[in-house]
Amino acid sequence: MSQVEIRHLRTLVALRESGSLVEASERMFLTQSALSHQIKELEGRLGCSLFLRKTRPVRFTSAGIRLLELADEVLPRLHTAELDLQRFAGGETGRIIMAIECHSCFEWLLPAIDAYRDEWSDVELDISSGFHFAPLPALARGDLDLVITADPVDEAGIAYFPIFSYEAQLAIAKNHCLVEKSWIDPEDLAKEVVITYPVDQNRLDLFTGFLQPAGVEPAKVRHAELTTMIVQLVASGRGVTCLPNWALHEYLQNDYVEVRSLGEEGIWPTLYAAVRKDQAEAPFMAAFIEVAKKVCFANLRGIVTAELG
Amino acid sequence: MSQVEIRHLRTLVALRESGSLVEASERMFLTQSALSHQIKELEGRLGCSLFLRKTRPVRFTSAGIRLLELADEVLPRLHTAELDLQRFAGGETGRIIMAIECHSCFEWLLPAIDAYRDEWSDVELDISSGFHFAPLPALARGDLDLVITADPVDEAGIAYFPIFSYEAQLAIAKNHCLVEKSWIDPEDLAKEVVITYPVDQNRLDLFTGFLQPAGVEPAKVRHAELTTMIVQLVASGRGVTCLPNWALHEYLQNDYVEVRSLGEEGIWPTLYAAVRKDQAEAPFMAAFIEVAKKVCFANLRGIVTAELG
DNA sequence: TTGAGACATGAATTAAATTCACCCTTGACA
DNA sequence: TGTCAAGGGTGAATTTAATTCATGTCTCAA
């Protein structure tokens, strides 16, 4: 079946370069006898001789020349592949396919990716849209390599790294009656229309961290895709919404809406990067997490109230 | 040193195509255990894992994908090389580097080569100009693959195949005194200028087969490169020459010169193809000898007096 | 909870590559 | 002509590696 092997190609190349079995064997750190046997065996399997030994330097037959040709094609490729693999092994490169749970995270993730790519140009980067429903199993499985999530679930083989914290605030119209309050109670929203991204409520801080614990349901939930749309609806009094403070910052500065904390303390989710533990230490992955933190801190300076790590 | 081997590449490809170790092992005619060990060992040497086994089908890591890329580059090349080698082994192709002792043989050798090339297009053909001095050792050594020679020397490992016989005739000017004779005796040439190709006398039929046995030396020997030149010199009475009857045929028809046999019987050299015994049976080589014979017979029909089996 | 399927693992086995010790051949040189 | 060194070949012994066998573990699904 498999006749020729890498080792044979290396032997032939060494033979071409040295001109004799003895010298070739020294280059290959083998005895001359080993090469003699090796080549004899190969020639036997192939059914033709590869070179004539009675001359110095040895003279290759057509078959030998054909094999050298093959070696010249194959060995360099093998070599570069092995160099690449060394870099994979050293964690100097790899693949980061991400998923985000937090819908407005693109705002800081895309700049982070850009910054990272400058330094780690050959890491394969992608944001997956396919695993919104269950990103962590996909991460464990290897479909994903990094998940941005607000609630770390303790799972074997997954490590979490905090990126930053932000306040999830309620945005309301400037003429809304709730502007009177200095912070919002869950019950305040029982009669309100809540506008959210079109995602499951279990992935929204407002519900998981505020309304559900208090057993309150809003009068109605409306959906909009884009942050701008949501804020516009809020500004025109069609409902209220809950967004990260940094996502609202721009609209607040332009005086479109009012914002209030949820509860006296406010709700302060932390975003984590979840990665597989075996990759957590790899330089290319650690670097990504570092860059993400730095970019967040730089982009959101003065907006987010807390920086981590 | 040498990490990755062909067998690993094959395994990975089988794994990609089948999706599981079990099925891949069947394709490779190995046990599942063997593949498990094999891959574990490779992963250990490389220092990184190549695929995730907990999914069906298996999912390759970046490193695994890189190796599959290598496999896709290498395995097809390996395969075509092995096919080529099979043809070498089967004698379906090879290399024929020839040397000719007989200076005027180009006349029929070149057409023979052309005819041969039609059928055996990928046999490497060349006429070497480097081994005139000692073609047979070069043949034995492997520098040459075929030698056209008029005197077979019994040497181990060399086989001779007769191509054809011709008469070596003396050409003389139409007004030369020797036209009186119906054939030439060696002594007739003792006073003559002999014109030959610029090669050693031991490679000329006239000397080895006629003059030397009789202990006769011509008055003078002149040289000319081209057959035409030689014949012109002869026609203008500057000397005599000895050429194969088929080389003289054209000039004879145009009535430029007269020809006479050397001795009553004439000298009838036979041209042989000498090849190494190990190649003598190879179809590509046997075919060349066949073609050479046929072409000679066709081209020299009615000129040479003898065709050989 | 059990059973089936897929992969992992340690020990035994088998197969292969390599070495060792020796031989032969060749060419240089005394 | 004999000897020596260098290159290569070969059978048997040895070492190394690949493969199998017999189990074990894990996961998924009934």
Higher pLDDT: B283 or A131? It is B283
CA angle (B205 as vertex; B202, B206 as ends), nearest 5? 100
A288-294: which pairs have CB atoms within 8 A and are 24 or more residues apart? A288/A96, A288/A112, A288/A116, A288/A120, A288/A123, A288/A146, A289/A161, A289/A163, A291/A112, A291/A115, A291/A116, A291/A119, A292/A108, A292/A109, A292/A112, A292/A116, A292/A163, A293/A163, A293/A164, A294/A115
Average pLDDT along chain B, 309 residues, taken 10 residues at a time = 83 89 88 90 88 82 89 91 87 87 78 91 85 77 85 80 89 92 92 88 85 92 87 91 87 90 89 88 92 81 50
Minimal Cα distance from A97: which residue of B?
B62
- Is there contact between B37 and strand D, defined as CB under 7 Å from any strand atom? yes
Which of A38, A66, A73, A86 to probe by mutation at the B interface, max B CB count within 10 Å? A66
Answer yes or no: is pLDDT of A101 > 80.
no
- Of B271, B249, B273, B270, the closest CA to residue B259 belongs to B249
Average the pLDDT over A275-300 and give the result.
Answer: 86
**Which two structure tokens, joined as six digits, stand for A70?**
């093959």
Protein CA A180 to sugar C1' C28 (Å): 112
Chain D positions with a protein C-beta closer than 7 Å: 6-12, 18-23, 27-28
How many whole angstroms from its chain centre is CA B201? 25
Average the pLDDT over A150-169 and give the result.
Answer: 85
Answer yes or no: is pLDDT of A303 > 60.
no
What are the tens digits of pLDDT across the range A12-64? 998 888 888 888 888 888 888 889 889 988 888 888 888 887 777 788 888 88
Report the share of chain A in percent with pLDDT over 90.
34
Protein CA A8 to sugar C1' C21 (Å): 25
Cβ burial, residue B83 (10 Å; 0-12/13-18/19+): exposed
Protein CA A52 to sugar C1' C26 (Å): 15
Which nucleotide does the CA of B35 lie closest to, via C1'? Answer: D19
- The Cα-based distances of B233 to A62, B204, B237, B257 in angstroms read 45, 18, 6, 10
Could you give the 3-state DSSP secondary structure of residue B28?
Answer: coil
Of B62, B78, B124, the CB nearest to A74: B78
Distance CA A170, CA A231 (A): 11
Q: Which domains are seen in chain A, by residue range?
A: 6-89 (1.10.10.10), 95-163+271-301 (3.40.190.10), 168-262 (3.40.190.10)
pLDDT confidence of residue A250: 83
Count the helix, strand and coil residues of chain B and give each as a percent rounded to the nearest 5: 50, 20, 30
Nearest-CA distance B214 → chain A (Å): 41
Least confident of A54-63, A66-75, A116-125, A284-293: A54-63
pLDDT confidence of residue A309: 44
Minimal Cα distance from B93: which residue of A?
A62
pLDDT confidence of residue A221: 93
Query: Within 10 A of A208 (CB to CB), how many other CB atoms are there?
Result: 16
Residues of chain B contacting residue A43, judged by C-beta atoms under 8 Å apart: none
